[in-house]
């Protein structure tokens, strides 16, 4: 493993991203992973809540990456690709990526990622990458609107998996991909990610973040930062670094 992560196990927390932030402000340092059995106030992207019952893998990775702010999405890409690799290679699942970083199986979401950047005590920038993976969960326990578009390893494979093994495998992939990225191998990482992104080549509707008017076009690829490149109807290309994308 390219990064030696320290793992901090907790039972029930509000949100592992929140604990991670508190630990950093207490001076905990980087390359630490906070993992919890359940979250009472799990948070998703765009201020949504994230249901986090027992059986899921809920964790946050604390990093202090030496990168430009516009490269932060590249670490989300690495997170999504790490999960997709493990689901594909170790659990024989056809895991794909819904840009930017949802991991889906047969069109249903199995994993989401929420990254947050903030300054530590000394003013250094820290990044917390929160990953929620529906592992040993029966999706019938989720609320109705979530259940219909969600799946889990248990639902797909019919078995429960060892959560520590799953976490270690994802962290190994994450560490390897980070070291590839920092040694100049990000184009290869992006090309593997691109090959798994569902919407490339399709017509999409994009709702950018921060909010701007939604627009449609053909998703044609990703740029060097991992931004989605959308060809508009007038032939111009528009890049989106953050937002929600749906097939139309």
Residue ranges in contact with ligand BTN by CB under 6 A:
15-17, 39, 42-45, 48, 50, 52, 58-60, 102, 112-114, 130-132
Q: Write down the least CB distance from residue 237 to ligand BTN, Å.
A: 26
> Which of 18/85 has CB closer to ligand BTN?
18
Q: Write down the least CB distance from residue 113 to ligand BTN, Å.
A: 6
> Which of 50/186 has CB closer to ligand BTN?
50
Residues in contact with 181: Cβ distance below 8 Å, sequence separation at least 6, in sequence order: 74, 78, 189
Q: Write down the least CB distance from residue 233 to ligand BTN, Å.
A: 29
The Cα 96–Cα 196 span in angstroms is 5
> Which of 34/217 has CB closer to ligand BTN?
34
Q: Write down the least CB distance from residue 223 to ligand BTN, Å.
A: 22
> Which of 149/224 has CB closer to ligand BTN?
149
For the residues of the chain, what is the DSSP string, one character each? --S--EEEEEEEES-HHHHHHHHHHTT--SSEEEEEEEESS-B-GGG-B--B-TTSEEEEEEE---S-GGGHHHHHHHHHHHHHHHHHHHH---EEEETTTEEEETTEEEEEEEEEEEE-TTS-EEEEEEEEE--S--GGGS-HHHHTTB--HHHHHSS---HHHHHHHHHHHHHHHHHHIIIIIHHHHHHHHHHHBTTTTSEEEEEETTT---EEEEEEEE-TT-PEEEE-TTS-EEEESSEEEEE-
> Which of 114/230 has CB closer to ligand BTN?
114
> Which of 51/156 has CB closer to ligand BTN?
51
Q: Write down the least CB distance from residue 148 to ligand BTN, Å.
A: 16
Q: Write down the least CB distance from residue 232 to ligand BTN, Å.
A: 27
The Cα 69–Cα 67 span in angstroms is 6
> Which of 113/228 has CB closer to ligand BTN?
113
Q: Write down the least CB distance from residue 30 to ligand BTN, Å.
A: 17
């Amino acid at each position: 493993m390219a990064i030696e992560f320290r793992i901090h196990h907790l039972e029930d927390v509000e949100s592992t991203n929140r604990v991670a932030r508190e630990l950093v402000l207490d001076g905990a340092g980087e390359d630490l992973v906070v993992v919890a059995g359940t979250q009472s106030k799990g948070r998703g992207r765009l201020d949504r809540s994230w249901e986090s019952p027992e059986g899921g893998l809920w964790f946050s990775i604390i990093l202090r990456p030496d990168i430009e702010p516009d490269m932060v999405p590249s670490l989300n890409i690495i997170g999504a690709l790490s999960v997709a690799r493990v689901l594909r290679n170790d659990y024989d699942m056809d895991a794909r990526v819904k840009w930017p970083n949802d991991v889906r199986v047969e069109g249903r979401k199995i994993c989401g990622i929420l990254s947050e950047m903030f300054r530590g005590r000394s003013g250094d920038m820290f990044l917390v990458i929160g990953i929620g993976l529906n592992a040993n969960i029966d999706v019938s326990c989720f609320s109705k609107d979530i259940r219909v578009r969600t799946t889990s390893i248990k639902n797909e494979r019919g078995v429960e998996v060892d959560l520590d093994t799953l976490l270690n495998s994802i962290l190994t992939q994450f560490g390897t991909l980070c070291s590839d990225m920092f040694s100049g191998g990000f184009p290869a990482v992006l090309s593997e990610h691109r090959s798994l992104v569902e919407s490339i080549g399709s017509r999409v509707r994009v709702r950018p973040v921060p909010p701007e008017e939604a627009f449609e076009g053909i998703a044609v690829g990703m740029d060097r930062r991992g931004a989605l490149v959308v060809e508009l109807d007038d032939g111009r290309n528009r890049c989106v670094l953050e937002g929600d994308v749906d097939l139309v």
